[in-house]
Structure 1
Amino acid sequence: MNSLKYMFLSVLFLSVLTTSCSNDDDNDEPKITNEVEGLFKIQDITNATHTVELFNKEGDFYTGYNAVSMRLKDNATDSYIEDASFSWMPMMQMPMMEHSCPRSTIAKASGKNTVFEGYIIYQMTNTDGSGWSITVNYTIDGVDYTASDAISVWQNDNQNVTSFMGSDDNRYIISMIKPNNPIIGINDLMVGVYKMESMMSFPVVENFSIALDPRMPGMGNHSSPNNTDLSYSMSDDMYHGNLSLTMTGYWVLNLKLMNTNDDVLKGEDVTEENTQSSLYLELEF
């Protein structure tokens, strides 16, 4: 009887151990898969050796600010690369010219093993989403690779990005980054400001200032209290201010861009005669 008892316990122990090991092995792949949980794939860009997977929260590119997550898969093994360095070049092909757009560097996402991230700001697109392509250059163990393909960029419903010529004869791009989910009350307004140095180069503009005057055109063009102008932050290379929204609906964020000498490069005050600045962004919630 004792020998049967010990045999039963031994079988039970081995069964539990086997199940535990099997579960541990099964959990390895979901950990990698879950690193993009909550994101939607925009597109795969493939070459002979690897597949670049592009993700964001919408599953599409839109004009304005796009936060992008990226993974790199080895086509031969179906495994994801953990150590690589990246750069990218979005390109807009127009009938007589081509140009790029503001974009960040690409870095490993915090707390992730296989996900890299950055942002791209598309300042324009065609009505059918065509015209853009993207090239991703990357290096693994000292070997350089490249992958490229056409992409679709769709027009945002509201003007969340604007490109303009300043009074200093330089072209600038301003893009709204936050708020993502506006509320009635005080919102953190964050925008990026970029200078077009060439068709391919759009560096961040530092230490300018932006005057803010939000208005509701459909409600007598009234403003709101407790707004603050935007100032540059070295911590993230962005401009921050307080945006007060007193009710839901369509808002025009009237802006004036000033350089380090407080010279107005673009935009005007809103008055009874001038109901909207020539430099503005739109928001609706």
Structure 2
Amino acid sequence: MKLKYLLPIVCFTLFFSCSTDDNDDTMLINEVENLQLIKTIENGDQSIELYNEKGMFETGYNMISLRIKDNNTNTYVEDATISWMPVMQMPTMQHSCPKSEITKAIGKDTVYQGFIIYQMTFEDGSGWSLTLDYTINDVDYSVTETINVMQYENQNTASFMGSDDSRYIVALIAPKAPSIAINNMKVGLFKMENMMTFPVVEDYTIALDPRMPGMGNHSSPNNTDLTYNSADHFYYGNLSLTMTGYWKLNLKLLDASGTVLKGEDVTENNESSSLYLDLEF
């Protein structure tokens, strides 16, 4: 081949190679995009980063994303097994709260996910700690760190004793952005087995009666009671909101046989149930 033909080929190859490298750099994906850092927990050679949409823990349902950073290589771990235990220290005792297992986030290489439902907190956000146990390359690690849990502005979770002498926790998960419409309502329901264990309650019914106390305590049409979904272990129903403002979501908890465990009907003589969640938009 003559040199005059060879040189264009070499130049084209070099240009294509450089262009491809540049494209690879621009295609790097931020796996925690749109999330805010809550806290970084240092544990020797690793740093555990905790994220959610607000950048803070609050009472109620918290969906949390985690990453483990190898401080020696400045890279994130892609193959770890992680579990956690949130604990609140009270003056005379301690307890945990409902929580999920931690799994790899769908479509992510370095991000793990799970939820924690904090049912209470102190006024200044103190009292809680979080223990993380994790395994990397068959080596076990553990770290415990204090965390702040702030009080959510509305009652998005309720802890109560049922007529069966069992303690339950119900937490509002959706709607996160209520609107004047029929909203998909989603809640979690858990039973306190002991101070550290809160399994999901299956196959109960949560009756729903939303009211506006500031507007004559009127209700709304087309609401449906919440029923259990075995696919994701949450309860779903329809929440009809006909105007903006403060809504009290009156609830009744019924077991699998239809026995009312907590809550009452709203009537002319009874303006609200003893079991409720609320929201304002």
C-alpha displacement of 1:13: 4.1
**What's the counterpart of residue 220 of structure 1?**
216
**Alpha-carbon distance in structure 1 between the residues aligned to 2:74 and 2:226:** 46
Q: Does 1:54 align with 2:47?
A: no
**What's the counterpart of residue 136 of structure 1?**
132
Aligned residues: 280
**Alpha-carbon distance in structure 2 between the residues aligned to 1:216 and 1:250:** 6
Say which of 173, 182, 200 aligns to 1:177: 173
C-alpha displacement of 1:18: 2.5
**What's the counterpart of residue 280 of structure 2?**
284
Contact residue 90 and residue 100 of structure 1 kept, 8 A:
yes
**Alpha-carbon distance in structure 1 between the residues aligned to 2:221 and 2:37:** 40
Q: Does 1:229 align with 2:209?
A: no
Gaps spanning 5+ residues in structure 1: where?
none
**What's the counterpart of residue 204 of structure 1?**
200
Letter in 2 for 1:14: L
**What's the counterpart of residue 189 of structure 2?**
193
**Alpha-carbon distance in structure 2 between the residues aligned to 1:157 and 1:170:** 27
Say which of 258, 262, 265 aligns to 1:266: 262
C-alpha displacement of 1:21: 2.3
Gaps spanning 5+ residues in structure 2: where?
none
**Alpha-carbon distance in structure 1 between the residues aligned to 2:197 and 2:3:** 79
Q: Does 1:147 align with 2:143?
A: yes
Contact residue 192 and residue 239 of structure 1 kept, 8 A:
yes
Letter in 2 for 1:49: D
Q: CA RMSD in A?
A: 1.5
Q: Does 1:101 align with 2:102?
A: no
C-alpha displacement of 1:268: 0.5
Say which of 245, 248, 253 aligns to 1:252: 248
C-alpha displacement of 1:124: 0.2
**What's the counterpart of residue 17 of structure 1?**
17
Q: 1:148 to 1:27 in 2, by over 3 A?
A: farther
**What's the counterpart of residue 84 of structure 1?**
80
Per the alignment, in what secondary structure is the counterpart of residue 36 of structure 1? coil
Bigger Cα displacement from structure 2, 256-265 vs 7-16: 7-16
**Alpha-carbon distance in structure 2 between the residues aligned to 1:16 and 1:276:** 70
**Alpha-carbon distance in structure 1 between the residues aligned to 2:232 and 2:201:** 12
Say which of 68, 71, 83 aligns to 2:67: 71
Contact residue 46 and residue 148 of structure 1 kept, 8 A:
no
Per the alignment, in what secondary structure is the counterpart of residue 163 of structure 2? coil
Contact residue 39 and residue 55 of structure 1 kept, 8 A:
yes
TM-score by length of 1: 0.94
**What's the CA shift string for 1:206-236, capped at 9, x where partnerless?**
1111110000001000000000011111011
C-alpha displacement of 1:16: 3.9
**Alpha-carbon distance in structure 1 between the residues aligned to 2:146 and 2:92:** 18
**Alpha-carbon distance in structure 1 between the residues aligned to 2:7 and 2:193:** 79
TM-score by length of 2: 0.95
Bigger Cα displacement from structure 2, 269-278 vs 141-150: 141-150
Letter in 2 for 1:219: M
Per the alignment, in what secondary structure is the counterpart of residue 75 of structure 2? coil
C-alpha displacement of 1:27: 4.3
**Alpha-carbon distance in structure 2 between the residues aligned to 1:9 and 1:75:** 44
